[in-house]
Amino acid sequence: MLNDKDVKEMLAALDIDSVERLFDDIPESVRANLDGLQEGMSELQVRRHVESILAKNRDPRDTASFLGAGAYDFYVPAAVRAVMSRSEFLTSYTPYQSELSQGLLHALFEYQSMMAELTSMEVVNNSIYDYATALGEAILMAARLTKGTVFLIPEAMSRSKLSVIENYCRGAGIQLRRYKFDRTSGCADLESMKNQITDEIIGAYVETPNLFGVLETQLDDIRGLLDSKIFVAGVNALSLGIVRPPGDYDADIVITEGQIFGNPVNFGGPHLGVLACKKKFVRKMPGRVIGMTTDADGNRAFCMTLMTREQHIRREKATSNICTNEALTAIATASYLALTGGGDLRKLAISIAEKSRRLAKRLDELSGCKAPMFDGAHFSEFVVTLPKDASSIASQMLEKGVIPGVPLSHLIKGMENELLISVTDKTTLDDADSLVLTLQEVIQ
Amino acid sequence: MLNDKDVKEMLAALDIDSVERLFDDIPESVRANLDGLQEGMSELQVRRHVESILAKNRDPRDTASFLGAGAYDFYVPAAVRAVMSRSEFLTSYTPYQSELSQGLLHALFEYQSMMAELTSMEVVNNSIYDYATALGEAILMAARLTKGTVFLIPEAMSRSKLSVIENYCRGAGIQLRRYKFDRTSGCADLESMKNQITDEIIGAYVETPNLFGVLETQLDDIRGLLDSKIFVAGVNALSLGIVRPPGDYDADIVITEGQIFGNPVNFGGPHLGVLACKKKFVRKMPGRVIGMTTDADGNRAFCMTLMTREQHIRREKATSNICTNEALTAIATASYLALTGGGDLRKLAISIAEKSRRLAKRLDELSGCKAPMFDGAHFSEFVVTLPKDASSIASQMLEKGVIPGVPLSHLIKGMENELLISVTDKTTLDDADSLVLTLQEVIQ
Amino acid sequence: MSFRQARHEEPLTFEMAYCEVGESMPVPDGLLPANLVRKDVPCIPKLSEREMVRHFTALSQMNYGVDSGFYPLGSCTMKYGPKINEELASLPKAADIHPLQPEETVQGTLQILYELQNMLATITGMDAVSLQPAAGAQGEFTGLLIARAFHEKNGEERTEVVLPDTSHGTNPASAVMAGFNVVTIPSKDGRVDLDALSAAVSEKTAAFMLTNPNTLGIFESQVLEIAKIMHDAGALLYYDGANVNAIMGKTTPGKMEFDIVHLNLHKTFSTPHGGGGPGSGPVCVKERFAGFLPVPVVAKKGEGYSLNYDIPDSIGKVHGFYGNWGVMLRAYAYILMNGRDGLTEAAERAVLNSNYLKKLVERFLVVPYSGLRKHEFVASGSSLKEKGVRTMDVAKRLIDYGFHPPTVYFPLLIEEALMIEPTETEVKYTLDKFAEALASIVKESPEILHNAPQNASVKRVNETEAAKKLILTYRDYLEDIE
Amino acid sequence: MSFRQARHEEPLTFEMAYCEVGESMPVPDGLLPANLVRKDVPCIPKLSEREMVRHFTALSQMNYGVDSGFYPLGSCTMKYGPKINEELASLPKAADIHPLQPEETVQGTLQILYELQNMLATITGMDAVSLQPAAGAQGEFTGLLIARAFHEKNGEERTEVVLPDTSHGTNPASAVMAGFNVVTIPSKDGRVDLDALSAAVSEKTAAFMLTNPNTLGIFESQVLEIAKIMHDAGALLYYDGANVNAIMGKTTPGKMEFDIVHLNLHKTFSTPHGGGGPGSGPVCVKERFAGFLPVPVVAKKGEGYSLNYDIPDSIGKVHGFYGNWGVMLRAYAYILMNGRDGLTEAAERAVLNSNYLKKLVERFLVVPYSGLRKHEFVASGSSLKEKGVRTMDVAKRLIDYGFHPPTVYFPLLIEEALMIEPTETEVKYTLDKFAEALASIVKESPEILHNAPQNASVKRVNETEAAKKLILTYRDYLEDIE
Ligand SMILES: Cc1ncc(COP(=O)(O)O)c(C=O)c1O
Ligand SMILES: Cc1ncc(COP(=O)(O)O)c(C=O)c1O
């Protein structure tokens, strides 16, 4: 690479004899090389090497799996992948130069519009890293909108999510307090929430379906309780095909995970943190927003707008530090939604809810099992209570080729015998059969 | 699909009440439905169904394989696949409207130019279906160029290829006659060829490397023998990185298989039949040719040219019936060659020839084996003589996970103990080791 | 704002990088006999991956496919192909299978081929299938070789193939390649003229080649009469299946008493056309011709599948291996995904679109022959001749509106023909836009039309100059500019 | 002939198809409590696959990426990413792995992550690595949380982060998010002013954030003095690794005595930027900070690998799972493919390209500060101000020549800044063409420049109107036109 004709001509133009001269400004005292690395490989070697390592992974083709808890293995249509492979999208960056980037801007505007329809919210930004960080940003945003210092979150929240938002709250000095859940329904305990609402409260986060897969029923009551405090709702995006959208119960900020729409689970990332809010709050929103406008000829055009909220303009006064986001996964989601449409989304949501119901019922029939554990309504995920420790049952089932779900003890404390089970459109009847049979074998 | 709003409006415009009315011109007497087919499937179902069937195949990742004989499993770089996936190429058709198709035309012009350089020929068309049919077309073309009725072909030719060209010659009433090969060198027997050259001869086909992988050494002599008769040369495209190109020994028509450059083996198709010739013969050539010209502004532009040779203009007087060809594989080949360049092509050819040599040497050391069987020079393929029937040895080796090559008896008569072995850039040392070890075990 | 194709100043690869010809890159001693060694390195410039990808990406943007917009190229069935097909065809277990692998290692492929044979037999109403021909034209060639072998076996010397003037160019060309003389009969009212046919048919007639619906998009309702004429004369009826897209689920060539049929998998069964190919042209025949099919045919063998070479009267082979497997796999997936209802609906929608668009176009252009059309129709630009405008000008002007032009000047019996096949994958919105564009083009001035296109990556291309200068390679170009 | 971007009349999906809102599509009884049921179907129009693909294909052609052409966006390292990376990242065994799978079922992924941690430690000269941050900015945030936790553990309350005025906007924003006050110090001659630094540092200083080479492309040769100032004050030195592309194989942040480093895998290690993301921003630290890294870190465990949550002083988590695995895998493949020599050569070529292009640009534009540059340089458009031309006009005009404009108006200390980073994947031909274009633009009339671009899919976009009207969804648009 470095002894070609070009290099010679460039060195001559620079009047130096070797590329090494260009590094004369790096003092000897800090010189270091890369001898710790290996020599390069050919493309074929890299492919073989990586494939051989990845062969050690088990994927859903090998192993029936009922994992969910924030990452959902739905089918990604080939057409979505075809869109993702369009290199004009793939190899571009933040559309700073709108004239040259109308395609991306147009697509992201559609993403905003579709997500706004889905959530019934007025404004949607162009992505936060993932659900957990979107929640972190949502709390920071809520804090900018009020004078409070304390934010209410549910008792039932996974360790990971909690840790992320604790980190997001640390700098701003926001204190997190928990409200309880009802042990029978699995829903929020409104008394507990109510008792904690004081002047110092910024607002509350309500998750529906929550960690247990239970859909919150008292959303209007919560809105009432919160009054002018900020209501942050976290939802399962697909559930909105059949479940009341947050705009309907007047949530102020909404977050969800867009991965479910057209993106693979990817071992947890890239995912797609979605953040929506009321339009009156848009100036306090983190992340990028695309607006429609016109060009010099008066034709429709798009551009990034409200950039004065952002770090590259506002620096330490920015609404967030986010720069590189998850735009490509947002494009995937836009294309997925355009291919699916509201009607088919509803059908898909119905079929998933029904599938989940059927599976819960079958598990409930096994002796010593209760499914779903809670009375509340569910969407795609539910907790099953097992007669024994869920982790060890899961390990035994894995040996028989089934990953039965997430032991709840991996997510929160104090629920040893519980397993969180999730279905997707890829879950077949065969999968369900092997789950039920294998579980039966293992608990006998 | 057929009860949407659009359909209703279109039916109204046509003033009919049902789509069925549009089929009133199909008499009852010929009506037939598709009840023999199954109901449709979802994309996910199709994917799973096809993948589960394909899982029954063994591919080179499972099974070390030394198959060649016209289809060569060379590595296809990801960048070539990226080019192939550009839907503007993929979903277009023959560039009848050149203004809208400059991209394809430009790329095909480059394909022609690169293939011309590689073969040292003046003109290359835009593809014939595959090697065998390119040979068929080459013989027909040769017949158009002379008054003869008989065409000479080598004795050592695979059954398949022979059958294809017999079919191509049938209509034109061309008779095929065979010239022998030298049992020691594996090269053409020039005496045998010479003896058959009479007035009725159209020309001769010479393959180098030939069926045995042997490179023809007496090409200038053959040219001399043929005099003004048509010299059709068939070559291994990659070998031309190091082997004298046909233009160099004044061949008139050249055919080769382009699959080797950037296309997977594809169970035999799509492949890429390459046909090149001297410019003075271009008006008798089959298939499409792209020319450079200018547009109304005087800028460089490309278009199909000499279309009056083709069936869509010339009908029964056309130089061939070919219409749909293999343009996309030609694009793959063009991008492969652009990525590789002449220098790396030479390096690749050298490394393949060396790898093949080393393997032959190792096999030759096994008791009862002779490799290569023939004295002549080889490129990537060679024949090994085994102590026993090659087919049964191959079957036994397959059970041990090695496909050792093509038993020659599958290709021609009378060579029961011979196996044709081929290496590619994907052939690893491990593969070679298992070939040698497994063969050793099996013949003991 | 209107359509404008991208334009990139793309040089030839030869102008982007230099050839390493001059550099010494010797072949190691002893690797080859000296007289076999290539002296020069082939002059193929090497681009970096970045350059190569950027080059072909730029070129692709200067090309127009079905994924770019409406592509009503009559007779070619430019329908949208589902992307899942592309993914399946590039799976290693599909693409990296060697054609000479032992049968037991390719059972998956053989099963798919076997099932596809059966599916195509059902769709065509025929009994036996060869998937080997690599395109429609090769299917014709193969079908006619079968006809030839059949007659020869019966001891008959039949030297003529009859076909209508509306037939596709490949039909006569294939007939000649198969060794027949071509007898062309004129059409009457856009259909086969039965009298002309009867007159043309004799004991020399090997077969009559017909596509139904024909290239005017008109269904040959008298097809059983045609069959009778042929069969009474001891001749065969050959079906050019390029237009099967129009009749799936409504009728079959088998039911119409055709003897031999080819299909174009890349048309009816959705494979993208790849800038000209690859395609696949299976031949389907009635039982009595099954023994003549090319070898091998895929057969069931116990629990598994095998390549059957034991076909007594087989014509042999027409392809080095088994044809274009990659295309067959796509067709298989397409048929699976659509199923019987999906295929029937595809035909219905294709015919609806065609008749609807015809209705719109008739308002401002003559569409000869009244009545129903199937998948396509042919309009005539003859009314524009008086203002000095040719059909080709209309075609070029359509480009400026963002549409790929229809097939022009074919079939020949329609003056200034515009052959329009919308296919079922288009929606009314597109058809309306296209008709609007055509309507306004018809009214535009000759100047505008003669200077079209303005919005493609180049202006009108000088094809005459191309044929005169014959610059077919970069080397030709260098010589030309010298 | 010159560059022209494609233009397609693409409506919004909402304008292409209708919503099924009105249609009854009831949720089956009993599936949900009545008060939870969504009444309306979400108004998201459904397109056919053909429409969807054609729509996004058209949009893609109206977008410009590295694969489209030169993209010298300073600070963003828009280098070409090998296509093999994309294929690897989409393998089912990479993409379809669930983050909560038991460890024994994700050993392949864990091995790659483990090896990548080690590779990055080598490349940065640091001791321990967290791959969790999802982008550079999150890496900064994470790094500063570590600094905070470190000081807190030592019982120190340090509330300030110092940074130079050349620092990237994410640096101050991240510092604030981590709870620090920001102290900005001015540069001197394009480098850190040591006096200003000494003056700014106190017992309140938690860390100094620096990228080296800095955003002017200038190497901070006094980096060891800077380190000394910081360390003497008990403060940490934070390295913004966005510019590591310039120094691989020449020096490391570790050797330069930085304490905490983030990398941007999507810049230096070639992941395509995806229209804004995803990225990945690993944090690499010296041994004494290893105990503060986010959980989990991938550790070796017997023959295999595991996710280690047992990190005593860990700050916890910054991502719901483990960060952007898809990006890490690409970086891993990229490092494997290049190896030590390849990475070193990448840095060398990047720096050569930058200095060469600077040389060309200096002929007609001021490039403040003399001397060597590393991966980028910043020119000033101030000389054009007198004819009423702003840097933004130059940028827009570059579009007409087919180039993506450089970063403009950053860093702020250069008036009318044009920040140009060619990267190593470009060749001299492209740099020459770009310089030529810039040279002629500088001479062009203000009219031309103010009216640029003419060759993009739209003309100059009215950003002021966008901010005033705030049409952020299709619904906003409908309200606006009412
Ligand atoms: C009516 C008809 N017949 C035959 C053919 C030839 O088929 P192919 O192009 O696949 O060789 C075509 C192709 O355009 C056609 O339209
Ligand atoms: C110097 C510098 N630091 C930090 C960042 C932020 O990184 P990211 O965009 O990955 O969040 C950037 C990105 O542009 C940068 O250029």
Report how far residue C395's alpha carbon sits from residue A207's, in angstroms, rounded to the nearest whole number: 58
Ligand 2 binding pocket mutation candidate from A323, A325, A326, A328 (most atoms within 8 A of CB): A323
A123-141 residue pLDDT tens: 999 999 999 999 999 999 9
| Nearest-angstrom CA–CA distance, C166 and C185 | 9
Are the C-beta atoms of C380 and C366 separated by less than 8 Å?
yes
pLDDT digits (tens, 9 = 90+) for B351-378: 999 999 999 999 999 999 999 999 999 9
CA of D430 to the centre of ligand 2 (A): 25
List pLDDT tens digits, range C206-252: 999 999 999 999 999 999 999 999 999 999 999 999 999 999 999 99
Name the residue in chain D with its Cα closest to that of B301.
Answer: D1
Q: Is D261 helix (H, G, I), strand (E, B) or coil?
A: strand
Residue C69 φ/ψ region, left for φ over 0, alpha for ψ in the -120 to 50 degree band, beta for the rest: left
Give C22's pLDDT tier (boundaries 50, 70, 90): low
Of B190, B179, B172, residue with least CA distance to B152: B179
The mean-pLDDT minimum among B252-261, B310-319, C237-246 falls in B310-319
Q: What is the pLDDT of residue B38?
A: 97
What is the rounded CA–CA span in Å between residue C401 and residue C67?
A: 16
Q: Cα separation of D29 and D21, whole Å?
A: 19
Euclidean distance between CA atoms A103 and A83, whole angstroms: 12
Per-residue pLDDT averaged across D353-379, rounded?
Answer: 97
Instruction: Match 């001769």 to its residue by tokens.
Output: B204
Question: Is B266 in a helix, a strand, or coil?
Answer: helix
Task: Please name every residue paired with B294 in a beta bridge, in sequence order, or none if there are none.
Answer: B300
Unique residue bearing structure tokens 């840095």? D347
State which fold the B78-336 domain adopts. Aspartate Aminotransferase; domain 2 (3.40.640)
Question: Which CATH number applies to A64-76+341-443?
Answer: 3.90.1150.10
For residues B45-73, average pLDDT: 96
State the residue for tokens 């199923």.
C339
| A186-197 pLDDT tens trace | 999 999 999 999
- pLDDT value of position C193: 97
List CB contacts of C220: < 8 A, sequence separation 6 or more: C191, C192, C210, C212, C213, C214, C226
| Ligand 1, atom 9, residue with closest C-alpha | B324
Kindly state whether A375 is in contact with chain D, defined as any CB-CB distance less than 8 angstroms: no
With tokens 């002449």, the residue in question is B342
Task: For helices C428-443 and B5-14, give the axis angle rounded to 10 degrees.
Answer: 50
Q: Is the predicted pLDDT of residue D366 greater than 60, yes or no?
A: yes
How does the average pLDDT of chain C come out, rounded? Answer: 96
CB count within 10 Å of CB A8 equals 12
* Chains in contact with C, where contact requires at least 3 CB pairs less than 8 Å apart: A, B, D
Whole-structure pTM value: 0.97
d(CA C242, ligand 1 centre) in Å = 6
pLDDT, tens digit, 9 for 90 and up, residues D382-430: 999 999 999 999 999 999 999 999 999 999 899 999 999 999 999 999 9
Rounded to 10 deg, the angle between the C325-361 and C107-124 helix axes is 30
Residues in chain A: 444
Q: Is B81 on the interface with D (CB under 8 A)?
A: yes
| pLDDT on residue D350 | 98
**Arithmetic mean of pLDDT over chain B:** 96
Measured distance CA(A408)–CA(A65) in Å, rounded = 16
Question: Which H helix or E strand runs over A85?
Answer: none
Contact B78 D82 (CB under 8 A): yes
Exposed e or buried b for every residue in A35-66, given b needs 16+ CB within 10 A?
eebeebbebbebbbbbbebbebbbbbeebbbb
Taking all residues of chain A, what is their mean pLDDT, rounded to a whole number? 96
- E strand residue ranges, C84-133: 128-130
pLDDT of residue B18: 96
C211 C-alpha to ligand 1 centroid (Å)? 10
Rounded Cα distance, C321 and B270, in Å: 10
Helices marked H in A374-428: 390-399
- Determine the residue among D1, D8, D88 to mutate to test chain B binding: the one whose Cβ has the most chain B Cβ atoms within 10 Å: D1
CB D64 within 8 A of CB A92: yes
Q: What percent of chain A has pLDDT over 90?
A: 95
| Distance from Cα D170 to the centre of ligand 1, integer Å | 60
Flag whether pLDDT at D339 surpasses 70: yes
> What pLDDT does B169 receive?
98
Contact B425 A77 (CB under 8 A): no
Domains and CATH numbers, chain D: 14-62 (no CATH), 83-338 (3.40.640.10), 346-468 (3.90.1150.10)
**Which residue is associated with the tokens 């890239």?**
A270
Q: Give the residue-averaged pLDDT of C304-308.
A: 98
Contact B113, B201 (CB under 8 A): no
Question: E strand or H helix at C216, and its extent?
Answer: none
Beta bridge partners of B331: none
Q: How far apart are CA C254 and CA C267, in angstroms?
A: 20
pLDDT in tens, C256-267: 999 999 999 999
Mean pLDDT of chain D: 96
How many Å apart are CA B206 and CA C74, to the nearest integer?
42
pLDDT recorded at residue C139: 98
Q: What is the pLDDT of residue A310?
A: 87
Helix (H, G, I), strand (E, B) or coil at A219: helix
Confidence of residue B148 (pLDDT cuts 50, 70, 90): very high
* pLDDT score, position B309: 87
ipTM > 0.85 (yes/no)? yes
Q: Compute CA distances C303 → B48, B290, C110, C111, C306, whole Å.
A: 21, 49, 12, 10, 10
pLDDT tens digit string along C376-408?
999 999 999 999 999 999 999 999 999 999 999
Residue C123 pLDDT > 80: yes
Note whether A87 contacts C: Cβ–Cβ < 8 A: yes
Is omega for the bond preceding A77 within 30 degrees of 0, making it cis?
A: no
Q: What are phi and psi of D397, to 5 degrees?
A: -70, -30
Contacts of the segment C371-374: beta carbons below 8 A, 24+ positions apart: C371/B25, C371/C218, C372/B22, C372/B24, C372/B25, C372/C218, C372/C219, C373/C213, C373/C216, C373/C217, C373/C218, C374/C213, C374/C217, C374/C218, C374/C219, C374/C243, C374/C246, C374/C247, C374/C350
Q: Where are the domains of chain A?
A: 64-76+341-443, 78-336
Q: Do A87 and B82 touch (CB under 8 A)?
A: yes
Whether the CB of C168 sits within 6 Å of ligand 1: yes
**pLDDT at residue C92, as a whole number:** 96
Closest to A213 in 3D by CA, of A395, A53, A371, A62: A371
Dihedral of CA D109/D113/D116/D122: which sign?
A: negative
Packing angle of the helix pair D49-61, A102-119 (nearest 10 deg): 140
Give strand ranges (E) for C126-249: 128-130, 160-164, 181-185, 187-188, 191-192, 205-210, 236-241
Name the burial class of residue D209, with classes exposed (0-12), middle (13-18) and buried (19+) by CB atoms within 10 angstroms of its CB.
buried
pLDDT of residue D184: 97
In this structure, the residues whose C-beta lies within 6 A of any atom of ligand 2 are A 323-324; D 75-76, 135-137, 168, 170, 211, 215, 240, 242, 264, 279, 281
Q: Label residue C24 by pLDDT band (50, 70, 90).
A: low
Task: Give the count of Cβ contacts less than 8 A between chain C and D.
Answer: 81
Question: What digits encode the pLDDT tens for the residues C35-85?
Answer: 999 999 999 999 999 999 999 999 999 999 999 999 999 999 999 999 999
Do A78-336 and A64-76+341-443 fall under one CATH topology?
no
pLDDT-based confidence at residue C2 (cuts at 50, 70, 90): confident
Q: Is the pLDDT of residue A238 over 80?
A: yes
Round to whole Å and give the CA distance between D418 and D406.
6
Choice from C168, C238, C375 to test ligand 1 binding pocket (greatest atom count within 8 A of CB): C168
**Which residue in A55, A99, A322 is closest to D461 by CB distance?**
A99
Q: How far are the Cα atoms of A397, A418, A443, D346 from residue A386, in angstroms, in the given order?
A: 13, 6, 8, 56
Residue A368 pLDDT grade (very low, low, confident, very high; cuts 50, 70, 90): very high
The two structure tokens encoding residue C354: 């065609």
